[in-house]
Amino acid sequence: MSAINQHPSRIDRAGHLRENPRTLDQLWTRAKILQICQGRLPSDGYLSAEQVATLIASGEFKEGSRYFLGIDAITENPYFAWDTEWCAAKTDEEMKVGLARLREVGIDLTSIDAELAMHAVALCNWHQSHPCCARCGAQTRVDLGGAVRVCDVDKSQHHPRTDCAAIVLVRDNDDRILLGHQPVWPEGRFSTFAGFLEPGETFEQCVAREVLEESGVSVRAITYLGSQPWPFPASIMMAFDAVTDFPETARPDGVEISEVKWFTRDQFKAEAKAGTLLLPPTISVARKMIERWLGEAAVGSEAWR
């Protein structure tokens, strides 16, 4: 089986342009702007600078912050994220009007729009959770088009962090796959195994440890497949394939995983079609890993987020 498709990005992050506020102001006037409002984004595409100004002037949204995402190498369109909030408190139902979570709209996004949305959401999450200097505790400010935060008290720069995680599709010698169910998930939701890299650990060691801890299965032939940013809130998922010679040892740990299940291709397709198996969302690398094994697009319930 081939690796997960990894295409070069057509978005030039253009780091050299971040250093000049006047240049960023000029780019903003002709940019495609992705509004991110308290973790939600619009389902109807990008805004112009004029539309953003109108929304702020209306008193519905706060001025917020602008984060430069880059320039499309083909169309030369600049892209920004607009990190804002409602001026008035909203109920959960009111926040859903015209805006949705990335997991919910991901199925409808093109690859370039998904890339920009993940970049935007990750930046917004980081800025919102790191308002103060980790060294002295003073308030920090946005700089370099959103690429850093700066503390004017001790002159330190703070960069967005990304947590490394491994995600793995476990197969046996009959080419069945092993999926797990977490107790916090709805009934029928199964996915691949994953966990965060610990200090001093290689990704291969992380894969072996996480699979053994969560499913009781030891693995070999650990093969790298690809990667995906996962801004919930700030991870990079490193995807692997692995093989076990001892499928009969599969047992859930009873804490993170409450059920494990082996699937042949026919069993997987039958349960997905019947709706008894809830599939990972199409935006996720877990879905891509499963479809790589399946050899076709997986058809079934998209109910879980």
User: Tell me, what's the pLDDT at 3?
Assistant: 64
| Residue 206 CB neighbour total at 10 angstroms | 22
User: Tell me, what's the pLDDT at 303?
Assistant: 45
User: Tell me, what's the pLDDT at 304?
Assistant: 42
Mean pLDDT within 193-206? 96
Q: Angle at which helices 265-274 and 285-294 pack, to 10 degrees?
A: 130
| Residue 31 CB neighbour total at 10 angstroms | 23
User: Tell me, what's the pLDDT at 305?
Assistant: 42
Mean pLDDT within 123-139? 93
Q: What is the pLDDT of residues 85-96, one digit of tens each?
A: 999 988 888 888
pLDDT class for 232, splitting at 50, 70, 90? Answer: confident
Q: Which amino acid is at 43?
A: S
Cross-strand partners of 67 = 81
Q: What is the pLDDT of residues 5-22, one digit of tens each?
A: 667 889 999 999 999 999
pLDDT class for 98, splitting at 50, 70, 90? Answer: confident
Q: How many CA atoms lie within 13 A of 111 on its CB side?
A: 9
**Is pLDDT of 43 > 90?**
no
Q: What is the pTM of this model?
A: 0.84
Domain 163-294 homologous superfamily, CATH: Nucleoside Triphosphate Pyrophosphohydrolase (3.90.79.10)
What are the residue ranges of CATH 3.90.79.10 in the chain?
163-294
233/123 Cα distance (integer angstroms): 10
N-to-C CA span, the chain: 28
